[in-house]
C-alpha cells in the first residue's frame, strides 16, 4: 500500500463576508484533514475576497506572501462615520445635510493619497499591542492609542461617484499594512465630509487573484488537487543551485558562487528543477545562504 503524502502548497480562497480569516483556516483543515494550515494577510470578517492559505510545509513561507502588494475594491459612503471606520460599529457623527461632491472634485483630492503616505489604523483592527489585538482591547473597554505608519499607495482610482446614495467606488493598489478603512476616513476628511467604508473586496495578493479564487464549496469538491505549487506563487526571482549542493542547502549550509555578482534580498532556490526553499545572498562571502528549507 502506497503511503499518502500530507497535503502541501498554497490555496487561493475566496473569503465570503461574515467569516473571519481564522474561520477559513478551520474550514480548510476540515476539508484537507490536516492541522498545519495558516493564512497570509488577515481580512476583516465583513470583508470579502482573496485570502491566501498555506498548507503543510508551505506555512513556513507565509511571511513572503505577507510582504506582497495588494489590490482592493472599496465602497465608501459620505455623510457619517463610525468608531471603527466601517458600518459595523455605532455611528459617531452624522450630517443632517451636505452637498455631494462631484466626481471631478473627488478626483482632485486623490493625488494627496498617492505614493508614500502616513495613516493611522483604526483601533478596531487586528494589529497586536503587547501581544493582544487592538480590537479585543477596545471591546474590553480599554482606550487604545494607535501609532501611525507609512504605507505606499501605487494606484487610487475613482470608479463611480453616486449622488443618489452618497457613495464612492474605488480601486486601490497598495503596499502591505495599508488599511482601506483609514484611507476612506481620511479621504472623507479631505473632502470635508465624514465618511465610512461600507464594503471591501480584496482582488489581489501578489500573484493570487480574485478571478482564480475558490469558494469553500469548490475546495470541498477539488480537495488537495486545488493546492498550488508554493514557489510559483511567491513572486520571487529564481536561483538554480548546482545539483551537487542540493543536500547541503537542505541541511542549512551555504554555497559559494563566484559567477554571481549580486542577487535580490530573497529568492527561490531550485536544483534539478526541484524547489528547495528560500535563499539569501551574502555579498561579502559571495555565498547563497539557506533561509527557509521546504521539506514535503
State yes or no: is 44 an active-site residue.
yes
| Separation of alpha carbons 289 and 257, rounded Å | 11
What is the C-alpha separation between 244 and 55, in angstroms, rounded? 29
User: CA 121, CA 66: separation in Å to the nearest integer?
Assistant: 17
| Identified catalytic residue from 23, 44, 69, 86 | 44
Alpha-carbon span 170 to 85, nearest angstrom:
16
Contact 50, 208 (CB under 8 A): yes
Please enumerate in sequence order all residues whose Cβ is within 8 A of that of 214, keeping only pairs 6 or more positions apart, or say none: 11, 12, 13, 14, 222, 226
Please report the DSSP string for 206-219 in residue order.
Answer: TTEEGGGPBPHHHH
Torsion angle, CA of 264/268/270/274, rounded to 10 degrees? -170
For residues 276 and 244, is the Cβ–Cβ distance under 8 A? no
Residues identified as active-site: 44
Amino acid at each position: 500500500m502506497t503511503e499518502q503524502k500530507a497535503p502541501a502548497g498554497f490555496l487561493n480562497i475566496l473569503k465570503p463576508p461574515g467569516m473571519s480569516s481564522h474561520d477559513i483556516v478551520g474550514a480548510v483543515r476540515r476539508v484537507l484533514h490536516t492541522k498545519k494550515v495558516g493564512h497570509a494577510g488577515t481580512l476583516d470578517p465583513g470583508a470579502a475576497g482573496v485570502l491566501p492559505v498555506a498548507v503543510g510545509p508551505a506555512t513556513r513561507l507565509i511571511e513572503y506572501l505577507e510582504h506582497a502588494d495588494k489590490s482592493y475594491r472599496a465602497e465608501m459612503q459620505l455623510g457619517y462615520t463610525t468608531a471603527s471606520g466601517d458600518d459595523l460599529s455605532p455611528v459617531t457623527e452624522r450630517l443632517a445635510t451636505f452637498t455631494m461632491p462631484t466626481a471631478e472634485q473627488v478626483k482632485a483630492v486623490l493625488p494627496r493619497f498617492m505614493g508614500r503616505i502616513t495613516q493611522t489604523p483604526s483601533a478596531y483592527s487586528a494589529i497586536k499591542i503587547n501581544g493582544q489585538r487592538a480590537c479585543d482591547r477596545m471591546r474590553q473597554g480599554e482606550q487604545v492609542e494607535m501609532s501611525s505608519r507609512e504605507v505606499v499607495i501605487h494606484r487610487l482610482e475613482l470608479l463611480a461617484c453616486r449622488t443618489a446614495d452618497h457613495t464612492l467606488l474605488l480601486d486601490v493598489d497598495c503596499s502591505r499594512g495599508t488599511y482601506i478603512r483609514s484611507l476612506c476616513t481620511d479621504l472623507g476628511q479631505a473632502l470635508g465630509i465624514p465618511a465610512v467604508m461600507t464594503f471591501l473586496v480584496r482582488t489581489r495578493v501578489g500573484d493570487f487573484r480574485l478571478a482564480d479564487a475558490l469558494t469553500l464549496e469548490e475546495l470541498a469538491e477539488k480537495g488537495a488537487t486545488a493546492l498550488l505549487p508554493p514557489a510559483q506563487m511567491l513572486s520571487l526571482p529564481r536561483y538554480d543551485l548546482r545539483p551537487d549542493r542540493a543536500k547541503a542547502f537542505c541541511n542549512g549550509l551555504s554555497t559559494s558562487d563566484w559567477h554571481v555578482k549580486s542577487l535580490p534580498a530573497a529568492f527561490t532556490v531550485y536544483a534539478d528543477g526541484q524547489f528547495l526553499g528560500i535563499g539569501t545572498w551574502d555579498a561579502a562571502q559571495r555565498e547563497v545562504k539557506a533561509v527557509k528549507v521546504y521539506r514535503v
